[in-house]
Amino acid sequence: MFFARKYLIVVLSASCWIAARAEAETPRPHIEIRGIYGGVPTELLEDGSTLADHGINAVWMGSGSLTTERVALLKSQGARVFAEFNTMHVASYLKDHPDATPIGTDGDACPAPQGWQGICPTHPGYRKSRMDAFRQALADFEIDGIWLDYHHSHASWERAEPDMPDTCFCPRCVDRFARETETKLPDGPPSRIAELLLGQHAETWIQWRCDVFTDWVREFRAILNQTRPGALLGTFHCPWSDTDFDGALRNKLAIDLKAQAEYLDVLSTMPYHARFGHAADPAWISRQTAWLGKHLEIRGESGERLRIWPIVQLADWGESIPVGQVDAVLDHGTRKPATGVMVFHWSGLRKQMDKVSAMTEFYRAIRP
């Protein structure tokens, strides 16, 4: 019995693998974007070939790495160019503005979890500096879109065991919360106030924090519409469902996907399966995409306003990714409701050209 069952599993796994492989080798007309994240892949152009020859039609790079020459080079290759924009993780800002430091439940500066430094989301000077930089990137470069990155609270979540302290209980955040939600708070030490906000006022507090982060997205959208209308607004965001880690997406990270989606064109989940504890289970990628599609009613059909383009992990980070897994990762990354995909990340992959070859082979195979 045991042997028979085991044998059946082997047979089933093998046939699933063959089916996945066959599917991976056929065009996927619903996939609009076959991208690379992390800069211009110059190594692929050295022998005179083009990005199109490699099946690549989009490149993402940090907004600080944009240059007119790079944008022109990528466009001449027929690729779309997208910028990544750091919203809540410009740690250097705190050097001259310590009052933008996130405050913990004890009323003191909250140490950076795993070294990941966030910023108080209600600091007006920080917000203005980010909005100005966002406008500048859109004004200066002929980009096809810009993606928000690190748009979440002071927390280190890009790991198998996330570290997500409760913040920000600075007087500015607490006063704004009390005023905007008409919540009466007693006088008392910061620890007592934090206890109330996380206790009897938790529901109001969580929604208010989410609304603060959503309002940033609203303003980014308004700036994009004024500065480069037609460019796409995307976001790189946590791939968890609303129940993963006890609802931490909203409760801890302050991400209200339904509310933010009103201002976004593209949601780029970050299902880094190997980094996040799913190294042997690339199907986790498509499960998370399927959840998001259901949550936001995105089916992956042409003409839909909202799109899902996951950024999937091929570079080694946390756990290494064998070349033999590249097909499976891209297969799960390109399943509906996803209509685009990009790989993380070029600076790691450029040292592992065997994986790059597997990736470009897959990209060429799924081209419509």
Give contact residues for Zn ion (rule: CB under 5 A). Answer: 120, 168, 170, 173
Enumerate the H helices of 103-201 as residue ranges.
124-140, 171-181, 190-198
* Minimum separation from the CB atom of position 120 to Zn ion (A): 3
Distances (CA, A) of 322 to 38, 223, 224, 327, 359: 20, 42, 39, 10, 12
Q: Parallel, antiparallel, or unpaired for β 80-86 and 58-62? A: parallel
The residue (of 51 and 168) whose beta carbon lies closer to Zn ion is: 168
Q: DSSP 3-state assignment of 3? A: helix
The residue (of 170 and 274) whose beta carbon lies closer to Zn ion is: 170
The residue (of 212 and 233) whose beta carbon lies closer to Zn ion is: 212
* Minimum separation from the CB atom of position 123 to Zn ion (A): 7
The residue (of 154 and 332) whose beta carbon lies closer to Zn ion is: 154
Count of residues in the chain:
368
How far is it, in rounded angstroms, from Cα 145 to Cα 167?
A: 31
* Minimum separation from the CB atom of position 100 to Zn ion (A): 8
* Minimum separation from the CB atom of position 170 to Zn ion (A): 3
* Minimum separation from the CB atom of position 176 to Zn ion (A): 8
How far is it, in rounded angstroms, from Cα 177 to Cα 115?
A: 27
* Minimum separation from the CB atom of position 122 to Zn ion (A): 5
CB 368 within 8 A of CB 340: no
The residue (of 44 and 170) whose beta carbon lies closer to Zn ion is: 170
The residue (of 82 and 208) whose beta carbon lies closer to Zn ion is: 208
Angle between helix 202-227 and 124-140 (nearest 10): 30
